[in-house]
Copies of this chain bind each other. A is one copy, B any other.
Amino acid sequence: MEAVPRKTTIREVAQAASVGIGTISRVLNSSSQVSRETRARVLEAIRRLGFRPNAQARRILKRRAEMVCFLLSNRDFLHPFHARILQGVESYASGLKQHVLFAALHYSPRTPPDRIDLPPVLQEHGLIDGLILAGTIYPNLLRRIESINMPFVAFSNNVVGMGDEEQFDQVGFDDFNGTLHATRHLIGKGHRHIVFAADVSYPWLRRRFEGYRQAMRENKLKHVLITSRNPQSFVDFGQKSAGRILSRQPRPTAAVAGNDEIAYGLWRSLRRQGVKVPDDISLVGFDDREEAVLMDPPLSTVRVDKEEIGETCMKMLLERLHHPRMTFSQRILPTEFVIRGTVRQL
C-alpha cells in the first residue's frame, strides 16, 4: 500500500501563524478567548495551508463520535419506505453536524442474543454514539444491543413479539387511528359492507385491523377479515384476496387494504376480472408509497410522513445521548388520510 500523502497538521499551522497549537485549537473551536488579530492570522494560515483538522483526534478527546448508525434489519433491499426514513435521519443529522452510517443486518428471531453476528460498526467501540434501529425488530436483537451498552432508538412499527413491559426509546406512527379514520371516511360515503384485507399475524397489520374494526363497531357494522393462502408477497396477497372479496354475499362495496401493496394487488386483480375501482368497489390503502399516486385512479390511502419519523428518531437519540438516565419515551406520530380517486360516494 503506497503512502497516503501527508496532510497538514495543527503543528504546521501553528508554526506558520507563529502561535502555539493550543491557539489553533481555540480558533477552530471558536473559543472566545482569542484576540481578533491572532484569530485573523490563524485563519489566514489555515486557509493558506488548506488545513482541515483531523476529526478522529478530536473525537478521542471529546468522547463523542458525532456519528450514529442507521441499522436496517432483515430487509432484502432498502425499501422506499425505509429509504425515506434514512433521509429524514440524514437531513436532520447533517444540520447538527452529526454523521450517519448505514449498515444492514440479517438475523433470525430464534438466534440467542449473544450469537447474533453484529455488523462491524457495532463490534468496535467509539465509532458511533448510538443506533437507530429500522426493519424488523425482535426481542433478541434488542437484548443484544443492550448487552453492548449502545444507546438506541427503534422505529417501532415493525417491532415483533414484544410485550408492553419492554422499555426502550421508540418512534412510530399510528396504525390504529390510520385505518380508523380511513374506515370512517368510507362509512361517511355511505358504505356499509366493508372488508379488511391483510395477514394480521404481522403486529402492525393487526393494529390496522383493530382500527378498522373499531370504526365498524362504533357504526354497528359487521367486520370481515379477508386473508389468502401462501402469498408470495403483499401484492400477491392482494391479488389472491380479490376473488374472496367478490364471492361474498352481499358483495362488499369497499375494501380497506392493510397496506398499499395489498391494495395494488387487489386493484390489479379486480380490474382483470372486469371489476372497476371505484365504480364497482371502493378501495383504500395504507402507507402512501410513491406508487399510490401512479395507480389509475390514484389510490386513496393513509399517509405516513417517513421523513418525520427519521427526524424524530434522530432527535430522540440525541436526547438520549445527552441524558443517559432519562426515562424511556415513546412517540406515536399521527397519520393523515389522503383522498384521491379510489373511493366513491354511494
A59 surroundings in chain B (CB, below 8 A): 56
A274 surroundings in chain B (CB, below 8 A): none
Check B52 against A56 for contact (C-beta < 8 Å).
no
Check A120 against B104 for contact (C-beta < 8 Å).
no
Check B121 against A99 for contact (C-beta < 8 Å).
yes
Q: Determine, out of A19-27, A77-85, A197-205, the stretch whose residues face the partner at the interface.
A: A77-85
Check B90 against A102 for contact (C-beta < 8 Å).
yes
- Contact A149/B2 with A52-B123, A101-B101 known, Cβ cut-off 8 Å: no
A94 surroundings in chain B (CB, below 8 A): 103-104, 119-120
> Closest Cβ of chain B: how far from A340's Cβ, in Å?
15
How many copies of this chain?
Answer: 2
A127 at the interface (CB under 8 A from B): yes
Q: Determine, out of A32-40, A166-174, A319-327, A329-337, the stretch whose residues face the partner at the interface.
A: A319-327
A2, closest chain B residue (CB) = B324
Q: Which of A5, A64, A97, A323 has the most CB of B within 10 A?
A: A97
Check A84 against B77 for contact (C-beta < 8 Å).
yes
Check B63 against A91 for contact (C-beta < 8 Å).
no
Report how far A86 CA is from B324 CA in the complex, Å. 32
> Closest Cβ of chain B: how far from A268's Cβ, in Å?
6
Report how far A218 CA is from B308 CA in the complex, Å. 53
A139 at the interface (CB under 8 A from B): no
The residues in A between 254 and 281 inclusive whose CB is less than 8 angstroms from any CB of B are: 264, 268, 271-272
Q: Please tell me the number of chain A residues within 8 Å of chain B, measured between CB atoms.
A: 59
A235 at the interface (CB under 8 A from B): yes
Check A99 against B120 for contact (C-beta < 8 Å).
yes
The residues in A between 123 and 139 inclusive whose CB is less than 8 angstroms from any CB of B are: 123-127
- Looking at chain A's contact residues, is the secondary structure mostly helix, strand, loop, or mixed? mixed
> Closest Cβ of chain B: how far from A81's Cβ, in Å?
11
Check B325 against A53 for contact (C-beta < 8 Å).
no
The residues in A between 59 and 75 inclusive whose CB is less than 8 angstroms from any CB of B are: 59-60, 63-65, 67, 70
A52 surroundings in chain B (CB, below 8 A): 123-125, 148
Check A127 against B77 for contact (C-beta < 8 Å).
no
A7 surroundings in chain B (CB, below 8 A): 125-126
Check B294 against A264 for contact (C-beta < 8 Å).
yes
> Closest Cβ of chain B: how far from A97's Cβ, in Å?
5
A235 surroundings in chain B (CB, below 8 A): 294
A95, closest chain B residue (CB) = B120
A296 at the interface (CB under 8 A from B): yes
Residue from B4, B63, B103, B325 in contact with A324 in the complex, judged by beta carbons closer than 8 Å: B4
A228 at the interface (CB under 8 A from B): no
A103 surroundings in chain B (CB, below 8 A): 90, 94, 99-100
A75, closest chain B residue (CB) = B87
Please name 27 pairs of A and B residues whose Cβ atoms are closer than 8 Å in the assembled complex, sorted by A.
A2-B325, A4-B64, A5-B149, A7-B125, A52-B125, A53-B124, A53-B125, A54-B124, A56-B56, A56-B57, A56-B60, A57-B60, A60-B60, A77-B83, A77-B84, A78-B78, A78-B87, A86-B102, A87-B104, A90-B102, A90-B104, A94-B104, A94-B120, A97-B120, A99-B120, A99-B121, A268-B294
Which 7 pairs of residues, A with B, have the shortest CB-CB distance?
A52-B125, A55-B124, A78-B83, A54-B126, A55-B127, A83-B83, A56-B56
